[in-house]
Each structure stands twice: as structure tokens, then as C-alpha cells.
Amino acid sequence: MEAKKIYLDYAATTPVDPEVVEAMIQCLGPDGDYANSSSSHFFGKSAKVRIDTARGQIAARIGAEVDSICFTSGATESDNMALIGTMNANQHRGRHLITSTLEHKAVLDTANALKDQGFEVTFVDHDEHGVISTQQLATAIRNDTVLVSIMHVNNETGVLQDLAVLGELCRERGVLFHVDAAQSVGKVPLNVADFSVDLVSLTAHKAYGPMGIGALYIRKGMKIAPMTYGGEQEWGYRSGTLATHQIAGFGKAFALADPDQEGPLLAARRDQLWAGLKVIEGVSLNGHATKRSPHILNVTFAGVEGESLRTSLADVAISAGSACNSDVPDPSHVLRGMGLSDALASSSLRFSVGRFTTETDIDYVLSRVREEVLRLRELASGAPDWTVS
Amino acid sequence: MDYEPEVKKRFLSPNRVKSFEEGIVGVVTGESSDRTLNVWVRFQVQAINGLIRAIRFNVYGCPYTVAAVDWAAEWLEGRETGALLDLGMIDRRKELGVPVDRLGKLLLIEDAAAACQKKLERLTTQDGN
């Protein structure tokens, strides 16, 4: 088969949609809406219209009020703002934060930083599929718990948490609820009105928008402490000149990201891939068979060393885990947290399909994976049992 | 991860993989592994009259490990059996383009070769008796 290069790492980032590119170009160049949207002259107002339009598009996509969308540089900053800003602004209520061991590093590292500053953090457990136990969360919530932070779609396994149930529990107990929804938009429905959620982290670049721009949904009426000062933009939560072109692209991307339309198409590609992989001996699925997003597939290839498999599949863009951690040879903390051994976690790959993935792409990837798994298993013939358990 | 061309070449097309057929004269097997390093190495050495006539190997490990084992097998073939204790993987590391944090994996290759040498010595002693 002719050598190709196939991208199956849409969970890491997505190509910018051509319509999004066009929306961004209109905000660049001498003939575009390039001005500072804080300026009161005609040019500034024109740029502000772009910002307001985008803000409306993003709000509509998640069922939020327009003035609850605060622009940031991306989901990592949004996560930081949500956790640090909320805990700092609510110390009169307590100093306890709850999250899970399976969160993205942007949440875990922020939680640990808060711990170093004297806040208390509880990491709740989950089942072997990576689903958070409502009972465990209920037990963890205390009188001094301020915030619970749980991601909607796990970035490594695609597992979906039941936000409605978790959110309701938080609301009943008077605890604020933050959701990292970086992987959600365009794949699964996300409506803040359905979830009793107070803060939601969003990003553009995983939904065919540009990198470097995201948002934090802040429910109207709640306060967080700002982390960036100087200019009072975004109601003082996040000062700094707004990047009109990025925001315009963000808005357009979210306007195009229809999970009802795109979800089934992604699921079809993912299922095509899984149908071909599961017949290979020693292959197992990581995550939940049904409570999952349509675009992510995390698979263990027992007896095949992970770095070797990824290197062998140099023509296929995939990930060992979070892209943020791809170059680090440590096994995925998510898979380890779900009970996989170091060997099996290291032998796992994350495939993630997207808008531009074709049936032919999947067929090609399947043939390449089969070829390399066979080669590496032959190379490791006679290896000890720990390589497969 | 960016690999040196030599590492890539040896990893993608290793020679001397698989095992000798059953019953071949003069073959000993030596292996070593470390679960924490995610490495397992097995050499099969055919030695006749104190010379390494042929080597085969199997390996579970990262591309650096595979490449280093392939290099070791190539280097050993044709040498005296004493060379099984002279691999000197620490000195070979830079030559092979292996990062220093992977040195532990290379030392396991030495251990597997040394295990073969031990078995050959035992065989020689038995023959001597």
C-alpha cells in the first residue's frame, strides 16, 4: 500500500476549518477589523462587533448567557482561573477542593499548587472504566468544600461523566461545580442549563478553531478572583487586549460545531476502527463501552511496547496519552489510575477521529497497526508474563 | 521522539531476530529483564570452539533498546565468547545515540550477554569433565 500520513490525533488539536480561517482573515490586514476592540472610535467598535458576535456564538453553543463568557488563552488558563480564582474568592466558605485523579494536568497541577498554598484537596475515586462514583463524591463533600472540578469528556479515554447527576449533587450540597469541557464541544451535547454547573472551561483548537484562545463560562452571580490585572477587560476577570481574529475564529468554530450532526459521523469512524482492532489478539478497550465521546478510542496492545509501536506507526499521528505529555515516557496517569499496570499503560494508544477522517484513512491505519503489532510481537516472542499483564 | 538514523534503521529492520531451531548444537540462551524499565532481552548464542558462530535475539523494549540489541548481536557475532562480557554498553551509549536516561536499559543487554557467557562456561566445564 502506498505510504500516506494519516492524522488521528484530533483530541490533541484539530486543523482550523476553512470557514474559520476566513472569519479570522476578516479581522487581519489593513482592510480587516484589526483595531483594538476597547477603543471608542469607529475601527474599535467594528472590532467589538466581531467580538460580540463570537461571544454570542459561543454562548449559544453551550446554552449560556452571552455575558457569562470570559475569554482566556485556552482551557489550561480557564482551568487555572476556575480553580485558583474560585478558591481564593471563597475562602470565607472554606478551603477544600475536590477533583479526580483522572483530570487533565491543567487541573491536577493547579490543584496541587493550591495544596502547596495551604488549601485541602481531595481526589475522588472512580471505577475501572474511569467513571466517577456519585457516592464517593457525596462522601467527599464536607461543610468546608468550596468547589468540585470534574472533566466532562476524559481527554485520554473519552469517558463521559454524568454532569447532570454530579452537578445536582453539588447544587444540593451548596458546592460550586467546575467542568473542564475542552473535549466536549462538537462531539457531545453541552448545555449549561442542563447541568447545574457554575464554571466551564472551553477551548477553540479542539473544535476546528485556532490555538491560543479559549473561554471560561462563569455563571452569572458567582464571583472569582482575577489572576490577570491591567485593563479591566472581561469584567475585570481577565485583563488584556482581546485578540479579535482569534475570538472571531473561536466563535465561528463553535457555530459550526454541531454535535447532533457530527457526533454520529465521528462514532461511525471510531467504531470502524474498533471493529478492526478488536479482532487482533491481546487488544483491549480502555474506558467505557457506552458512556463515552464519539471521537476517542484508547486501546491496549498487550505484549507490544508502546514507544516502539508509536515509532513503527510514524505515518499515523496518534498519541500515547495526553498530547501535553506525549514525549514523556512515563505511563499515562489516567490509565494507571484505572488499574492498568505500567506495562499495559505503556502499551496503549489513543486514537482520535475528526471531521476530516475518512473511511479509507481508517482502513489504512488498520492495515498498518496489524502489520506493526505482528512485527513487534514476533520481535518480543518469549517475553515474560509481565509484558502482557 | 527524534531518533538518530542509525537507531531508526536498526529498530525498523533488525537482523538476527527469532530463535534457532530446536536441536542445533552449541546453543545457549541468556536473558535479563526489568519490569520497571519495561525491558526484556534474550540472546541465543551458538558457540563452537570458543567462537561465537551465530547470535539470535528477541527483545521487548523501546526503539533504543531494540537498536542497541541489534548492534550488540552484530558486534558479537564472529568474536570469541569472552566478548560476551565486553559489550561495554556505557561506552557505546553515545555512539548509538541513546539518551543518558536510557542507560539502565542498555545495561540489561550486558546482563543478558553475561548470562549466555555463564552458560557457555558451564557447558565447557561439563565437557571438560
B38 closest CB neighbour out of A346, A379, A381? A346
ipTM rounded to 2 decimals: 0.93
CATH class belonging to A18-256: alpha beta
Cβ–Cβ contact A385 with B under 8 A: no
Number of A to B CB contacts under 8 A, please give it.
Answer: 55
Residue among A219, A171, A226, A214 at smallest CA distance from A199: A219
The distance of A376 to chain B (nearest Cα, Å) reads 8
Each domain of chain A, given as residue ranges in start order, spans 6-15+258-388, 18-256
The answer to whether the CB atoms of A380 and B59 lie below 8 A apart is yes
Q: A351: closest CA among A273, A280, A265, A257?
A: A273
CA distances from A167 to A56, A155, B72 (A): 24, 20, 58
Contacts of A271 (CB under 8 A, 6+ apart): none
Contact by Cβ (8 Å): B30, B43: yes
Quote the pLDDT of residue A101.
93
Torsion of CA A370, A375, A381, A383, to 10 degrees: -80
Burial A149-159 (b: 16+ CB within 10 A, else e): bbbbbbbbbbb
Q: How far is CA A248 from CA A32, A384, B29, in A?
A: 12, 55, 65
Taking a C-beta distance cutoff of 8 angstroms, is the pair A115, A87 a contact? no
pLDDT at B96: 84
User: Within the 338-357 window of chain A, which residues sit less than 8 Å (CB to CB) from chain B?
Assistant: 342-343, 346
3-class DSSP state for residue B23? Answer: coil
Superfamily of domain A6-15+258-388 in CATH is Aspartate Aminotransferase, domain 1 (3.90.1150.10)
CA pair distance A148, A248, nearest whole angstrom: 31
For chain B, give percent helix, strand, coil, nearest 5: 50, 25, 25
CB-CB under 8 Å, A307 with B62: yes
Q: What are phi and psi of A225, to 5 degrees?
A: -80, 135
Q: Name the residue with cell 548509538.
A: B96
CB < 8 Å from B in window 147-206 of A: none
1-40 of B, contacting A, C-beta below 8 A: 1, 3, 8, 11-12, 14, 17-19, 33, 35-36, 38, 40
Task: With CB atoms and an 8 Å threshold, state whether B1 touches A312.
Answer: no
Mean pLDDT, each 10-residue run in order, chain A (389 residues): 85 97 96 93 95 98 97 97 97 97 95 97 93 95 98 97 96 97 96 94 98 97 89 88 97 97 97 98 95 97 94 93 57 89 92 97 97 96 94
Q: How far apart are CA A305 and CA A345, in angstroms?
A: 10
**B19–A381 CB contact, under 8 Å:** yes
Where do the domains of chain B lie, and which CATH numbers do they carry?
Answer: 5-124 (3.90.1010.10)
Express each pLDDT in A341-356 by its tens digit: 988 999 999 999 999 9
Which helix H or strand E contains A71, and what residues bound it?
strand A69-72
Q: Is A324 a catalytic residue?
A: yes
Residue B129 is predicted with a pLDDT of 46
CB of A308 less than 8 A from some CB of B = yes
What is the pLDDT, as a whole number, of residue A1? 54
pLDDT for B31 equals: 97
CB contact under 8 A, B18 and A378: yes
Mean pLDDT by 10 residues, chain B (129 residues): 89 90 89 94 95 96 95 96 94 86 92 96 70
Tell whether B43 lies on the interface with A, counting CB pairs under 8 A. Answer: no
CA-based nearest distance B33→chain A, Å:
8
Selecting from A308, A312, A381 the residue whose C-beta is nearest the C-beta of B58 gives A381
Q: Using the beta-carbon criterion (under 8 Å), do A308 and B61 form an inter-chain contact?
A: yes
